[in-house]
Amino acid sequence: MKRLVTLACAVALLGVLAACAAGTPEASHAAAGGPLAELLLGFWHGIIAPLTLLIEVIHKFAPALLPLPWHMYGGGSVAYDVGFYFGLAGGPSLFWSRWRR
């Protein structure tokens, strides 16, 4: 039961934090804060990339289901690119290795 509650909380948290997904106006506004903001935003987009890819595929085949135009990658600077690749390489694998224990 405890594991189910933990999983439900993790899914809910990912859903809430996915509001900063690439392609949204909020994400563009957040990246205007400078190189550190772009690096952290890129890192976050790398971490949520698997979820964003799933949403993008659903949006492609059933556009009426999800009215938001989400994109997996919203880069434009070197700092964003570095953060994205570090998040993509390290983020999901860190969560997966911790979850399996």
pLDDT in tens, 17-44: 655 566 666 666 666 778 888 888 888 8
Structure tokens at 75: 């880069």
Domain range list for the chain: 2-100
Q: For tokens 């919203």, what's the residue?
A: 74
Residues shown for the chain: 101
Q: How far is CA 27 from CA 18, 44, 63, 95, 96, in A?
A: 10, 10, 21, 23, 25
Give the residues of the chain that fall short of pLDDT 70.
Answer: 14-31, 67-70, 91-101
Structure tokens at 52: 């964003």
